[in-house]
Amino acid sequence: VDMVERRHPTPEEPIFARQAMNVGVLVKDLGKIAYSAALEAQSWHVQKHLESISQPHLVKNTILLCEHPPVYTFGRRSLNKYIEEDEKRLKSLGAEVHKTKRGGQITFHGPGQLVCYPIMNLRTLKISLRSFVCRLEESIIQLCSQFDVLSQRSPHTGVWVGDSKICAIGLQVSRGVTSHGLALNCDNDLSWFEHISPCGIKGKGVTSLSQQTGTAVNTEEVRPLLIQSLLHQFNLQVLADCHPPQATDKHSVTRVHTETGI
DSSP letters, 176-206, are TEEEEEEEEESS--GGGGGGS-GGG-TT-EE
Whether 199 is catalytic is: yes
Q: Give the pairing of strands 159-161 and 164-174.
A: antiparallel
Catalytic residue, from 66, 116, 199, 242: name it.
Answer: 199
DSSP 241: T
How far from the centroid of its chain's Cα atoms is residue 232's Cα? 15
Q: Closest Cα partner for 20 from 237, 246, 241?
A: 237
Q: Closest Cα partner for 168 from 97, 219, 103, 225?
A: 103
DSSP 152: B
Q: Give catalytic residue positions.
A: 199
